[in-house]
Amino acid sequence: MRPQILYPLFTDVGSLPGIGQKTARSITKLAGPRLVDLLWHLPTGLVDRRTIASVASIRQGGLVTLVVTVDSHLPGSGRRPYRVRCHDDSGGLDLVYFHGKTDWLSRTLPIGERRVVSGRADRFQEMVQMVHPDHIAPVEELEQVASVEPQYPLTAGLTPRTLRRTIEAALAAAPPLPEWIDAGLLKVRGWPDWQTAIRQAHQPQDAVDLEASTPARARLAYDELLANQTALAVVRNAWRRRPGRPINGDGRLTEPVRSALPFALTGAQSTALAEIRGDMASAFRMLRLLQGDVGSGKTVVALLAMLSAVEAGAQAVLLAPTEILARQHFATITRLLEPVPVRVDILTGRDKGRGRAEILKRIAEGETALAVGTHALLQEDVAFRDLAFAVIDEQHRFGVDQRLAISAKGPAVDILVMTATPIPRTLQLTAYGDMDVSRLMEKPPGRRPVDTRTVSLDRLDDVLAAVGRKLSEGAKIFWVCPLVDESEDLDLATARERHEVLRQHFGDRVGLVHGRMKAGERDAAIAAFARDEGDLAGQRVDILVATTVIEVGVDVPAANVLIVEHAERFGLAQLHQLRGRIGRGTADSVCILLYQPPLGDVARARLQTLRQTEDGFAIAEEDLRLRGAGEVLGTRQSGLPKLRLADLAQHAELIAAARDDALLALSRDPDLAQDRGKALRVLLYLFERDAAVRYLRSG
């Protein structure tokens, strides 16, 4: 249960007086639906209105606050703006309004009255004027107006003033909270308490107050990192503390499957498998990360581990982040399991009604030994007879909540998380805390290097000619369209356009796949490309135009050419993932990165890196160097929790501190039951890491 002290912060913005539905919607879009979301929406700039000027002193344009007396109103007409003529002791000033509303203006600026006005004033020869003042107020409010105003990122339909007022209301609702930071640390760092910090962060007085290193901002960032690390540590502790269940396979399934593989496991795969089996056999609850580059062979390792659980008479599950990936895993696993009688079922959001009910029945009765699927497997009515082992693929799409949900489906579920994101250590801490890690550093043998080239979009005609030659040699070609912006519609439009152009050149052999397709259509498009015989009507598809939906793990071993349009718009990690789609088969592979000249320095360095190496870890390090953590983490592939206050580039040093602090606090008070522990619980709720609280023994 959320602590009562936080209730005010978790009320809806719409419940504030004076906030209508429309404004509430805009605010929700910008920051989030509740007051607490507004607290995390920190200013990115400030407007300094402290200069109180006289009209005569205004030379060049600038932001000023003035006290003036209103002389007359000159209503506008046609293109002429409405003018309100004013003066102070030193000279005359016009307030200028385009499309000014007469009655509002005469009410706000009555003739003969004195008013504070603030805004940008400009001088044209002898005329001083202020177009659309930001503020008009009675003289008594001079002090409030002549101050420093925080400036916030905005969205359409929201004025700066409305947003500021709403944030002020959120600040007013922010109570003093019990201190969760270690007293010694607080003192050494010179950080304010939480309530002071959140207020200071929203009330910058100077540009330096906007920097990430100010005590207020550093503290808030630390709070967020501490919440994150505490949640991870709680989960891990709980895991370690729960009775595990020694699972020992006898090899009767794994051995036939392993010996039927058309290859031998690499050393790295064998080591990882041994580590996983060691965890499974122990009395501890396993929580392990299997990290390995795209194509490093994680799936086989995971499958053999799952089979050990089946050998021990239990069930295993594989959770994938997307429908496409789930289907692919299902297909791979079904194929690899041919030598043994093991029932695999797949469950995704697509399964409905009777079909779904039958699958659920098989899972519940234990007839299904291996279940593969998406989030659909986490639904409450999915029950296992005896689930012992869960593999979560590409875990960044899942969170602690999902781990919790899946672990609740068995008496002692061991968990293996697979990720293809090679992230450096500090960043890894943020995503996973101190998890045990197995790494697949070496790639399977026989993997042919990909010939990567960069080509200017000016030479598109040459590329099309080359594509024609490749097609006649039997190539299978992925053509990835650019990210246009955050809008899927625009991404789609460019993909459609490219599809059309390619069809004009190469006819019906060009297929299209994009994120807006229904899952079934998408699978069919990919399957048609993957099959040599083409689609159901027998139409061969040799070029597949795709938006970035293919980046996460689509496996078409025959694909040997990848063309990425506007490669300069993609992140390094993303390009690396995309390139992982080819070079899986026996044919020579080529990756063409089409770029729009002129290239900036960073884009050039990025493309250069890709030409030089295929090592995911080297690429990740280079990415970090070129762009800084913030951006690496910003990419869709990053695998990190969304942080609203901490900036991993700027606050990197705080991560390890937060980790140590969390571990220490939990070692002293494992159930967060003492004073500081209770404060840490408040912190977990404040940052909505409360899934972790359910792991604690009391309350």
State the Cα angle at 333 between 314 and 554, rounded to 5°: 135
188 CB-near residues (< 8 Å, 6+ apart): none
299 touches ligand ADP by CB under 6 A: yes
Name which of ligand ADP, Mg ion, none residue 94 binds, using a CB cut-off of 5 to 8 Å depending on partner kind.
none
- One residue of 298, 509, 581, 651 binding ligand ADP per CB under 6 A: 298
The span of 95-103, 116-124, 203-211, 439-447 binding ligand ADP (CB under 6 A) equals: 439-447
239 CB-near residues (< 8 Å, 6+ apart): 284, 285, 286, 287, 415
Q: To 10 degrees, the CA torsion angle through 55, 59, 62, 63?
A: -20
CA atoms within 13 A on the CB side of 445: 6
Q: Are 375 and 381 in contact (CB under 8 A)?
A: no
637 touches ligand ADP by CB under 6 A: no
Name which of Mg ion, ligand ADP, none residue 115 binds, using a CB cut-off of 5 to 8 Å depending on partner kind.
none
Cβ nearer to ligand ADP, comparing 269 with 560: 269
23 touches ligand ADP by CB under 6 A: no
297 touches ligand ADP by CB under 6 A: yes
Q: State the alpha helices, DSSP H only, in 81-149.
A: 102-108, 142-145
In 3D, which of 78, 46, 325, 367 has the Cα closest to residue 210?
Answer: 46
18 CB-near residues (< 8 Å, 6+ apart): 165
The span of 70-78, 231-239, 293-301, 422-430 binding ligand ADP (CB under 6 A) equals: 293-301
Least separation in angstroms between residue 302's CB and ligand ADP is 8
Cβ nearer to Mg ion, comparing 23 with 589: 589
Taken in order 189, 192, 194, 199, is the CA torsion positive or negative?
negative
- One residue of 228, 299, 395, 430 binding Mg ion per CB under 5 A: 299
- The residues pairing with 271 across neighbouring beta strands, listed in sequence order, are none
290 touches ligand ADP by CB under 6 A: no
- One residue of 232, 294, 316, 427 binding ligand ADP per CB under 6 A: 294
In 3D, which of 148, 174, 160, 203 has the Cα closest to residue 30?
Answer: 160
* Strand boundaries in 449-492, DSSP class E: 450-456, 477-480
Q: To 10 degrees, the CA torsion angle through 461, 532, 394, 243?
A: -170
Name which of ligand ADP, Mg ion, none residue 265 binds, using a CB cut-off of 5 to 8 Å depending on partner kind.
ligand ADP
- One residue of 47, 171, 210, 265 binding ligand ADP per CB under 6 A: 265
Name which of Mg ion, ligand ADP, none residue 294 binds, using a CB cut-off of 5 to 8 Å depending on partner kind.
ligand ADP
Say how many residues touch ligand ADP, by CB under 6 A.
Answer: 19
The span of 246-254, 292-300, 477-485, 681-689 binding Mg ion (CB under 5 A) equals: 292-300
Cβ nearer to Mg ion, comparing 282 with 332: 332
Q: Which residue is nearest to Mg ion (CB)?
A: 299
CB-based burial of residue 525 (10 Å sphere; 0-12 exposed, 13-18 middle, 19+ buried)?
A: buried
Q: Which of residues 578-607 bind ligand ADP (CB under 6 A)?
A: 584
Distance CA 670, CA 560 (A): 53
Say how many residues touch Mg ion, by CB under 5 A.
Answer: 2
Name which of Mg ion, ligand ADP, none residue 337 binds, using a CB cut-off of 5 to 8 Å depending on partner kind.
none
Contact positions toward ligand ADP, by CB under 6 A? 263, 265-266, 269, 292, 294-300, 420, 444-446, 555, 557, 584
Contact positions toward Mg ion, by CB under 5 A? 299, 553
